[in-house]
Amino acid sequence: MKDSQFVNYLIGIVGALFGFLILMVVLANFMTAEDTEQDVMVSDAVNARIQAVGTVTVGAPVEVKTVAASPADSYQASCFACHGTGAAGAPKLGDKAAWKARIAQGKSTLYKHAIGGFKGMPPKGGSSLSDDAIKAVTDYMVSKSK
């Protein structure tokens, strides 16, 4: 009799656990049921928050017209820091004594040093000016220092 009583308890416990499992599955399905209206609202809100700031259009290249800066403007933007203050031994603009020996070497040497760098001066004075713009600035500086 004791064995049959144990089997009855075991069947009861297994049945209760199985019933609990079914109850949990039903509750999980109920709690995760899809609310399509809510999902659409959430999806729209997320899409609005992550909307692109700009767009990229691939097509024909756009021609950009630039106005060339004058040699004086280029000097102020790229050369003044050293040649206006004499920093690192750079000859100051207008200092005739400091420029005299340099001018005597000829424009080709001045251009070579201005474009390629010389002693403490980096190539093109560290600017991104074209070679022709550097030559124009060099001519400007020479004209102000004769």
In a domain, 90, yes or no: yes
In a domain, 32, yes or no: no
63 CB-side CA count, 13 A: 1
Q: Which position has the higher pLDDT, 14 or 52?
A: 14
Share of the chain above pLDDT 90, in %: 13
Share of the chain above pLDDT 70, in %: 89
Which pLDDT tens digit goes with each residue over 16-37? 999 999 999 999 888 876 666 6
Please tell me the chain's helix, strand, coil percentages from 3-state DSSP, rounded to the nearest 5. 65, 0, 30
Q: Name the residue range of residue 120's domain.
A: 71-145
CATH code for the domain of 129: 1.10.760.10
The answer, yes or no, to whether residue 133 has pLDDT greater than 90, is no
Contact of 90 with 101, CB cutoff 8 Å: no
C-alpha span between 76 and 143 (Å, rounded): 15
Report how many domains make up the chain.
1
